Structure 1
């Protein structure tokens, strides 16, 4: 069995984004992972630690964590059951089945599907794979910052890290990676869409809160409650985390611009981070004194995503531009 299931992904300079921002932008291309997103880092690590002798794994996911769990299970020769909410595109269900997973549809949003996954883990003796809330996941995700550090070379560090937040697993992994690299003075810009903004809502409330519903089309950001660790990082002061929101329209525009300029199609959840560059948000944060001047390149985590294709993109355009 391989040492791990993820790839060391390319770190590419974006000429288009650098030109817009007026300083160098590097993209960590997590869309090129075998499961389509960064999730394979943490999920693969967790499965290798916990599921080697398992009867099977079960994961609730609107897409990417499920794809990672299905991929890791297939590589390990272990059955996978993925529980998806009814909001998941048929494309996702098909891709999960192509990985050999059994797909069950349960509830309207991720939280409903997760309750069913926990029940199956209990009743069928399966290994539960959480999509974002587990230290082994964060440990796995931290590897992307280790790779960035090696790619940038000695003495170079990012001016800031830009990423999307759903349940907070990527954020926790990146912060852990920054700690490991001795980069705790590098601020993190944490992006969500309006209507899938559990992290921003928690920061505003001063405690972890649960959203009533997910109203954003960025369904892969669709956790109603952020993980406690992500919220704790936002309060601890050990790393600067700037939480911001963009509209679905801005996230979709970012997806389209990224496709035109970088020839890569990513999902709306990833578009939320890209929109910080394309909508001019970063200079605005600097003008407001919420983000310091960048002392190094901006590192964008292109988290990827398997729930998008050209047809899905045109459906989103019709929905959001009407």
Structure 2
């Protein structure tokens, strides 16, 4: 069944117009990176769509959030600039605001949840901001920031629910349509909704039907709940912490309801796969939130087949240890990395004989774990876990077949 594409709303004055976005672009364009929008032929072949990627992870602070932050800073009064600005952010808005505030000589204070990835805290401090860690969620950090705002006379710069911020984020779409006018579908991550609100404003002004699809992590379907009247829980440890927002904005929810055609939810496995593919195929580092658009294409290929899709890689600030874990888990799921649990008899030569089979199948052994004590086997039995590296799933299957044919009870330790 074909998707109904919304047209520009009539007789409804939304808080942000195309003129606002165009003015924002004129205001900020000389101080941000005009990131490229490039076709990915490999991802197009994988998904069945023609996929164009907007590399916002190439901004100086590695995220599109600079756009809205700068657009807001440039519209403050001299008095407000002198007193300083404050924000609550899980990271990318913090870095964008801190960087441009420092560049413009405006004092900046950023309140972050205590569980914010270390890389984002360090980078934000590196841009000259005063970082305050408070609470375990964005909502707790937000509440504390509003207290400091009232106490010290700062100007609060909201990460998404502000027309100036929304207009700034929408400049992303202006550049995309300038570079690739034939885009007919935008697939955009949603946290609080600032990016998709701004981009949808631009898309609806193109004078032709353009489908606008938002993407949220399954663990945090806050905008989906708001628009669809559902009550799914918003909680969990998502890879896409940049869009892990429990309550979307009031302004953005209104704009999403008016302008966005659909919201898709993606699981953690799809997010991990997207992060890994972007590194392997495009040689670009993207955080979980930034990969959400591609994750939607991977999880719903039939939904976008044959379309010319624009996807924003909206951030690249991922902790290096987390990135390493994602890549290793992807290798394991593809069969290129595996842990095999093999039952042996506790006698000389047992491990040597197993290792010979690995050699015969040309499989590289990475680690060997012998377990004699903590096992339910008889005293003369033992369990050996062997981590190994293979070419692909078929290569791994041949090894397992060879082990079982030789009489070894063999199971694969699966990922969650």
TM interval, shorter chain, is: 0.7 to 0.9
CA contact (8 A) 1:118 1:128 kept: yes
CA deviations over 1:188-210 (Å, ceiling 9, x no partner): 1211111121111222317xx79
1:139 aligns with one of 161, 167, 180: 167
Q: Specify whether residues 137 and 210 from structure 1 end up closer, same or farther in structure 2 by C-alpha distance, changes over 3 A only.
A: farther
Report the secondary structure of 1:49's partner residue. coil
Counting only pairs closer than 5 Å after superposition, residues 74-223 of structure 1 correspond to structure 2 as: 74-152=102-180, 156-183=181-208, 185-205=209-229, 213-223=235-245
Per-residue deviation, 1:120: 1.0
CA contact (8 A) 2:223 2:253 kept: yes
CA distance in 2, matches of 1:48, 1:201: 34
- Equivalences, count: 303
1:17 aligns with 2:43: yes
CA distance in 2, matches of 1:78, 1:231: 30
1:45 aligns with 2:67: no
CA contact (8 A) 1:17 1:277 kept: no
Report the secondary structure of 2:213's partner residue. strand
Report the secondary structure of 1:216's partner residue. coil
CA distance in 2, matches of 1:282, 1:230: 27
1:229 aligns with 2:238: no
1:244 aligns with 2:264: yes
CA distance in 2, matches of 1:34, 1:25: 24
Which sections of structure 2, spanning at least 5 residues, go unmatched? 1-25, 331-414
CA distance in 2, matches of 1:199, 1:99: 31
Per-residue deviation, 1:103: 0.7
CA contact (8 A) 1:214 1:224 kept: no
Report the secondary structure of 2:245's partner residue. coil
CA deviations over 1:154-194 (Å, ceiling 9, x no partner): xx3312001110010011111111134335x2111211111
Per-residue deviation, 1:52: 4.6
CA distance in 2, matches of 1:286, 1:265: 24
CA contact (8 A) 1:20 1:277 kept: no
Per-residue deviation, 1:51: 5.9
1:63 maps to what in 2? 91
1:290 maps to what in 2? none
Q: Specify whether residues 56 and 225 from structure 1 end up closer, same or farther in structure 2 by C-alpha distance, changes over 3 A only.
A: same
Q: TM-score, structure 1 length as denominator?
A: 0.87
Q: TM-score, structure 2 length as denominator?
A: 0.68
Q: Specify whether residues 199 and 224 from structure 1 end up closer, same or farther in structure 2 by C-alpha distance, changes over 3 A only.
A: same
CA contact (8 A) 2:222 2:234 kept: no
Report the secondary structure of 1:192's partner residue. strand
Per-residue deviation, 1:149: 2.2
CA distance in 2, matches of 1:17, 1:316: 19
CA contact (8 A) 2:49 2:304 kept: no
